[in-house]
Structure 1
Amino acid sequence: MNLFYILRNSSHSNLSYTILNVKSSTEKSARRRTGGRQSKRERRRQGKAFGNSSPYIQRHVGRIGLLDDAGLSLIEKNADRILDQIGMDFRDDPETLDIFSQAGCRVSGERVRFEPGFCREVIQNSAPQQFTQYARNPARSVKIGGKNSLFCPSFGSPFVHDMDRGRRYSTCEDFENLTRLHYMLDSVHHSGGVVCEPVDLPVSERHLFMAKTHLKLSDKPFMGAVTARERAADTVEMVRIVFGEKFVNENCCLYSVVNTNAPLVLDATMLEALKVYAKANQAVVVSPFVLGGAMSPVSVAATLAQVLAEVLAGLCLIQLIRPGAPAVFGTFFSPISLQSGATTFGTPEGMQFQMCARSLADRLGVPLHSVGALTASKVPDAQAAYESATQLIGSFMAGTHFIIHATGCLESLLTVGYEKVIMDADRCAMLAAFADKVDLSDEAQAWDAFEEVEPGHHFLEAGHTQRNFETAFFQSSVADNKSFEQWQAEGSSWQHERANETWKKMLNEYQPPPIESDIAEALDEFVLRRLKEIRTQQRGIQ
């Protein structure tokens, strides 16, 4: 309707009548065939949203890099200097210190120092530039690296938010609901990991519930637990049940993120998880968690050098443990407000950092993992929209391969919002469409339309327009493009209200992906056995 409203005073005197007439005749025809264009469009959107997704984005757009070779070489030289002269602490893990010592590194207490170029050489000798993470549904498997990108949900929030109940602690029900939504959303390619913390379960048992939920309520790839060695080991055993031990030994079925304690520390908890996954040939991301100004110096250049140093040391360890195991350059960088100490998102420094990080990852020869739609806003408002969009677009245009926190983040990752998930997923879909190749087929060139339409006339009644009416141009699932009058007549809804309706409708229509009964039973039996063992052990400790 807004198109008709905008063009009604056009120089084409009959254009308004023609558009309305075309709309009317097309709708009547569509109603006779399928029950109306609106229902057809709704079915098409649902078909895309409810499980017919592309497994990942094959990029046909370039990326933005900010530093030339001289600048990147300077950052690399500074990272080597940090590792050589200052070193990195690997705490409470004698096995890791022994691995480095046997490789010829200089170990003093828990501090390890590396000769310039050593880590890079180890990584480049064996780490893959690109790898496939296999999903339970083979059609959902993702390629990480190369000219590919994918979007993954937010991670780790202890709270959830929706417009009906507000902010509250997240539960098992929320975890299941968010897993269902991300399974159904076309533009989200990965099931994620801790999409929210199920705080109604003991910490020692959560990983079993979360892994089983990802494996049964979705068939997309997912992330492994990293909060303890035994939890990582349990996750590996669960994917072995699904894929088979031999397949898991030879292929990546889990993707897990290990965070450094910046500056320049890896602790025992993260190291134990890293070793479990590396030994099992599963992908490990080494991702320094850096709040600029507090955990790194107050400049992009210095922070890049520090982050690269931490990543080099971590990825080197992975390759020393198991040469060829998938290893990923991870980043999480957010400047803080030096006035208040609060985290800030959607900043120019954050975008600069991401674009330089991709160039450094390319030169190292590994994929890049970074963050997406982050915001400090507490609700899905304008602040959430512009901070999230800036951060997400910056990461995407940097060419990031794996974009985590792409959907749902509120309150600096303390909260995941139901409406925010839907709104962010719509933005992800827009970026995926942007990255697609330009169609140069005969149909796209539309020569018959030029032959049909006289100069000075319009294309609305052209045969080419009618043939492509339903699929031409990207259509947002939550944006409103109607005239003011129509928007008002339909209830004057805000975007978060439309998103609220969308996620409820999706959950109501959710259908779980099929899973073989013997695999489902084996997963249930494993979880029950491990729960019994964990509870027995805890009673013994008490």
Structure 2
Amino acid sequence: MLSSEGRATPPTATPGRRGGRARRRAGDTGPTAAGAVRRRIPACELLDAEALAALEEQADWILTEIGIEFRGDAEARRLFAAAGCRVENERVRFQRGQAAEICATAPAEFTLHARDPRHSVILGGDHLVLMPGYGSPFVTDLDRGRRYAAIEDFRNFVKLAWMSPWLQHSGGTVCEPTDIPVNKRHLDMVHAHLTLSAKPFMGGVTAPERARDSIEMARIVFGAGFVAENAVMQGNINVNSPLVFDETMSGALRVYAEAGQCVCVSPAIFGGAMGPVTPAAIAAQTHAEAMAGIALAQLVRPGCPVVYGSFHNTMSLRSGALTFGTPEANLVTLALGQLGRRLGVPVRSGGGQITAANAADGQAMADSTSAMWATILSGANQVWHAAGWLEGGLTMGYEKFVMDLDCCGAMLKLVAGMAVTPETLTRESYREAGPGENFLSTRHTTEHFATANFLPGIAEAGPYETWAEGGRQGAEERANARWKAMLAAYAPPAIDPAIEGELGAFIARRKAAMPDEWY
């Protein structure tokens, strides 16, 4: 609930935040949250125990023989040296089995608190959280075409994510607001997440001081005491694959970990460029890089909530172009789901609705659906890039966003499973209708028609004649009308004016203290 000051009132403590990972008994659902989605279909177990052990052995070999470089971050290297790792110049080498041992203090699941606790989510276990795309410098729509993203676009996508029942997370850098200086835009982005939405969100990571600003803004809204004891935000830490953490990423990681906020470690491997071409090698290297980042978070603060992430795909070995939704990348997604579960931490998928297509066309939806199926079947707990992604991540598409929302809703209906109860079996309906009769007017149908089937927002075009009379609009044209209608109907979630004023004052002070930096 919200206190009179507009800050989240602390709930009961979540197991597993400190002092080791939380293990749940069968049938123990733990804390619940309205924003959470529970998986009722099992994850795909692609690899047997022998193959998984071989991948873990390869990852361990990479960490012990090759090592990971932490460039420019003496404090990170000091922490590893104090833990018994071999540190030579900027390279850190682990002892055999040491990385997994250090990672063991990370919680198996934890609550990510939202400004409105009704939208808090649980990461880990059988919980599933979907969020929009991340990091695109461009946006596109049918009216204005492809262009550099602005803060208006960023705010629009935050609003669309808030309105959708199929996204449980507001995202992070949904698109880059290039009309604001690089060193200041994180303030406007976090402000948008905190005021235009009340779902979980991600903060700035492009410099340690920007990470600190993000956490300070969260403290203003949630209260410093609550933030000290609970995860209210996430930071996306990209590995500079192959096998490098730069000072920016490891520095931001340490800031989030010190504050007890969620660290998402995301290796980014394109086979043939940042790693070998084979799916097995990509999976093993991803596992090594992810464990190195998770280990650093645990050395900073044992029990720090983490997410085991990845962003992997293939590339055309003929042209060098990036490819998405390929069977090889999907196999890696399935394998990483198993490796993350064996490590005992929540897993972020390497997929989502991703594509190399330049428009929201047939290729875009085929690529996206292929990647999303593998992601859902992998058992991932958090799915990034679930809506909007185009052009290999360079562009967020307005039409693609709402087309993807329909797919998200269908996927969530699927993972929720099928209820088999006297009410769903409905023997009464057979007594009402009988042989040779339809069931449209039965009590059961009239009571359940609105919820029995997933209803997409844009997919149904009606019979041919109606569709032709209506202008023969394709899905992209119907999506154009859909996102405009959603924005027209947007209403912001309530926030205490005093809190919003304090946020504005903080942003004004921080911006006044720094010059504009556009690069």
Relative to the length of structure 2, the TM-score reads 0.92
Alignment pair present for 1:367 and 2:346: yes
Which residue does the alignment assign to 2:311? 332
RMSD of the TM alignment (CA)?
Answer: 1.4
Distance 1:315 1:212 in 2: 28
| 1:9-88 equivalence runs, <5 A | 54-88=34-68
Range moving further from structure 2, 484-493 or 104-113: 484-493
Distance 1:153 1:512 in 2: 18
| 1:337-356 equivalence runs, <5 A | 337-356=316-335
SS at match of 2:139: strand
| 1:120-199 equivalence runs, <5 A | 120-124=100-104, 126-199=105-178
Distance 1:449 1:368 in 2: 43
| 1:391-406 equivalence runs, <5 A | 391-406=371-386
Which residue does the alignment assign to 1:288? 267
Distance 1:345 1:122 in 2: 33
The one-letter code sitting in structure 1 at the alignment partner of 2:256 is Y
CA contact 1:183–1:220 (8 Å) conserved in 2: yes
What is the CA deviation profile of residues 328-357 of structure 1, one whole-angstrom value per residue up to 9, with x for unaligned ones? 111111101000111101111111101110
Distance 1:363 1:356 in 2: 11
Distance 1:318 1:486 in 2: 57
Range moving further from structure 2, 442-451 or 309-318: 442-451
The one-letter code sitting in structure 2 at the alignment partner of 1:273 is A
The one-letter code sitting in structure 2 at the alignment partner of 1:413 is G
Distance 1:161 1:118 in 2: 46
Alignment pair present for 1:234 and 2:213: yes
Distance 2:441 2:201 in 1: 47
Range moving further from structure 2, 265-274 or 457-466: 457-466
- Which of 289, 293, 297 is the matching residue for 1:318? 297
What is the CA deviation profile of residues 278-317 of structure 1, one whole-angstrom value per residue up to 9, with x for unaligned ones? 0000010111111111111011111111111111111111
CA contact 2:333–2:374 (8 Å) conserved in 1: yes
The one-letter code sitting in structure 2 at the alignment partner of 1:253 is V
Structure 1: segments with no counterpart, 5+ residues: 1-52
Distance 1:309 1:91 in 2: 17
Which residue does the alignment assign to 1:525? 505
Q: CA deviation at 1:481?
A: 5.0
Which residue does the alignment assign to 1:9? none
Distance 2:86 2:275 in 1: 24
CA contact 1:91–1:265 (8 Å) conserved in 2: yes
Range moving further from structure 2, 430-439 or 234-243: 430-439
- Which of 184, 201, 204 is the matching residue for 2:183? 204
Distance 1:414 1:63 in 2: 30
What is the CA deviation profile of residues 61-97 of structure 1, one whole-angstrom value per residue up to 9, with x for unaligned ones? 1111210111100100111111111111110111111
The one-letter code sitting in structure 2 at the alignment partner of 1:420 is K
- Which of 234, 249, 264 is the matching residue for 1:255? 234
Range moving further from structure 2, 477-486 or 63-72: 477-486
- Which of 471, 481, 486 is the matching residue for 2:451? 471
SS at match of 1:204: coil
SS at match of 1:74: helix
The one-letter code sitting in structure 1 at the alignment partner of 2:214 is T
CA contact 2:34–2:120 (8 Å) conserved in 1: no
Range moving further from structure 2, 366-375 or 225-234: 366-375
Q: Whose helix fraction is larger, Structure 1's or Structure 2's?
A: 1
Alignment pair present for 1:380 and 2:360: yes
The one-letter code sitting in structure 2 at the alignment partner of 1:90 is F
What is the CA deviation profile of residues 132-169 of structure 1, one whole-angstrom value per residue up to 9, with x for unaligned ones? 11110010111011001111100111100001111011
- Which of 469, 478, 484 is the matching residue for 1:489? 469
| 1:412-427 equivalence runs, <5 A | 412-427=392-407
SS at match of 2:239: strand
Q: CA deviation at 1:483?
A: 1.5
CA contact 1:384–1:410 (8 Å) conserved in 2: yes
Q: CA deviation at 1:476?
A: 1.1
Alignment pair present for 1:461 and 2:463: no
CA contact 1:288–1:331 (8 Å) conserved in 2: yes
SS at match of 2:264: strand
Structure 2: segments with no counterpart, 5+ residues: 1-32
Distance 1:467 1:82 in 2: 59
Which residue does the alignment assign to 1:268? 247
What is the CA deviation profile of residues 164-208 of structure 1, one whole-angstrom value per residue up to 9, with x for unaligned ones? 111011101111111111110110111001111110010011000
CA contact 2:34–2:121 (8 Å) conserved in 1: no
CA contact 1:54–1:186 (8 Å) conserved in 2: no
Range moving further from structure 2, 388-397 or 448-457: 448-457
SS at match of 1:334: strand
Q: CA deviation at 1:469?
A: 2.8
Query: What is the identity percentage for the equivalent residue pairs of Structure 1 and Structure 2?
Result: 45
CA contact 1:170–1:199 (8 Å) conserved in 2: yes
Which residue does the alignment assign to 2:77? 97
Relative to the length of structure 1, the TM-score reads 0.88
- Which of 380, 389, 411 is the matching residue for 2:391? 411
Q: CA deviation at 1:470?
A: 2.7
CA contact 1:54–1:189 (8 Å) conserved in 2: no
Which residue does the alignment assign to 2:283? 304
Which residue does the alignment assign to 2:95? 115
SS at match of 1:112: strand
Q: CA deviation at 1:462?
A: 2.7
SS at match of 1:62: coil
Q: Which runs of 4+ in 1 moved over 6 A?
A: none
CA contact 2:138–2:146 (8 Å) conserved in 1: yes
Range moving further from structure 2, 465-474 or 488-497: 465-474
SS at match of 1:261: coil
- Which of 214, 218, 223 is the matching residue for 2:202? 223
The one-letter code sitting in structure 2 at the alignment partner of 1:384 is A
Larger Rg: 1
Q: CA deviation at 1:437?
A: 3.4
Q: CA deviation at 1:123?
A: 1.0
Q: CA deviation at 1:251?
A: 0.5
